[in-house]
Chains A and B, each alone.
Chain A
Amino acid sequence: MIKYLRNTRKKLPRYVFLAVLILFLSNCDTLINSLTQPTTATVGQEITAVLDANFNVDGGPYTKQIIIGILAPKSWKIGENAKLTFSGDKGTGTLTLVPSNQVAAGAKNGENWATRMKNKFGIGTNFIDDMEWVPFQTTESLTANNNEKVNAKFQIKMKVGVDGQNTSVKLGYVICNKDDGLPDDSSDKYAVKYSDCLEVTGGAGDLIDFCNPSLAVLSPVKVLDNDFETITFDNTVTTTALKDVQNIYLCATAHTSDGQDIVVCSQDERSKMINIAPNKFQITIWPRGYFNVPAGKTLTGVDYYFTDQGGTVKVGFGNVSTVPFKIKFLCD
């Protein structure tokens, strides 16, 4: 008994040293060396982005699948419009969509990979929350040995702007392995990078600008007339005709499916926006109630301006007083 205790005491430093060594060794840094991606494209065009990545392995050998996530506008349906391949020290291979029923590694609430990426990185440095992370995985596991520095180039061919809309957006890319995922306590297990602003032109309608803050922000982005809709007027983005005005009102015209217009443009308590931050104003409406839509009729959209208390000074789309901001009642 005593002998055993004594032995343990002698061995203790050795055990501690071993434990620390194991902790230190079981490390696999993931780095993105560079991201190459065009900054212009036309709607429906296929572009190629290349991620040059390194996996610096200490310890191991490890055999793992690699996961790549792409952040893009939801309406681009990147899951159907992207083809991913890789080539490098471990040969070549392809990546396929991660099924949405697969729980992400280390996800505390059982989220899938797309949700885990969205929770972790949001929409990056973009301004409109109408984007999704789409996860892909290598079809086979790759093995790396102790102290190996594995380089791989991931080639992402994707059709952009398949919705036919003029768009400018900063795409996002994340690389991790399927076992470690995106841990909150160690940021060297994954690497994330955002592209410069990609301008997609040649489409119809007004530019959907994810890259720059806009005067008017909608939340949720996609709604019908029977949803709550929050409109935020950010009067700090640029100098507007309503500079320093503290009482801001919504002046709106709703369009019904049978071609009628319903105008709510009196500057009163109902249309008054609340001040949520210095020079930021917000209003939440339930369009069916706000415009008093008769039963059986539906709204297709709303045109709106921000006005002062007198209703004479107006700010509309593009910071002009003649073109309204628009809400279209459409889902994905």
Chain B
Amino acid sequence: MYKILMQLSQRRAIGILLAGCMLFAVSCKTENMVPMVNESVKNIDGTWKIASATLNGTDILNTIPDAMTHLTGFGVTFTDGKYTLANPIPFIVDTDGTYTFNDPQYPFDISFTPTGTTTAVKSTFLFPVVQGQRRVTLTFSPGCSKNIYVYTLKKDN
């Protein structure tokens, strides 16, 4: 029994030695350097429609008839720093105007400034990829500050 155990541990030692040699060999390979790429400026130009909507964490797109909420008719079009709204619903703003990101390369906030006013209204901005397509997720409170709306928009083709 003892002998068998000794043989086993010898075999294991040889195995470890071999694996070590292979690792050495592999580690000598030259690496291809990744060229420096600038993070792109986030472009959201186009018309966006609602893909999902929640109010205080509860889905309002699929649970309430659209005839009551009119969520699917809503659209927001971004072009050259301006936005226009179609078929208004509770949203960050209710009239057309201009928008800016806090950082065009790494935006976390989007600010809407309706035409004729100077105060901007801010929303958190997420720009995830879903099924190969960009989505825009906005979080805001158009009424009471404790009522939190999250709209995820997808590009209208």
Contacts and interface: CB of A to CB of B under 8 A. Distances in A.
Interface string B34-60: 000000000000000000000110001
B26 interface: no
A1 B70 CA distance: 75
A226 B90 contact: yes
Contact of B144 (A222, A284, A295): A222
Contacts of A226: 90, 94, 142-143
A295 B96 CA distance: 13
Contacts of B89: 286, 289
Secondary structure dominating the interface of A: loop
A303 B147 CA distance: 22
B144 A224 contact: yes
Contact of A289 (B1, B88, B95): B88
Interface in A115-173: none
A332 B146 contact: yes
Contacts of B1: 2
A331 interface: yes
A274 B60 CA distance: 15
Contacts, number: 60
B145 interface: yes
Query: Which bucket holds chain B's interface residue count?
Result: 20 to 34
A332 B94 CA distance: 23
Nearest to A269: B67
Contacts of B60: 228, 284
B68 interface: yes
A286 B70 CA distance: 9
B1, B64, B88 interface centre (most CB from chain A within 10 Å): B64
B68 A220 contact: no
Interface of B: 1-2, 5, 55-56, 60, 64-65, 67-70, 88-90, 94-95, 142-147
Interface of A: 1-2, 220, 222-228, 230, 269-270, 274, 283-286, 288-289, 295, 331-332
Given A220-B56, A222-B144, A283-B68, 16 more contacts: A1-B2, A2-B2, A220-B144, A222-B147, A223-B143, A224-B142, A227-B90, A227-B143, A227-B144, A228-B60, A228-B69, A269-B67, A286-B70, A286-B89, A295-B94, A295-B95
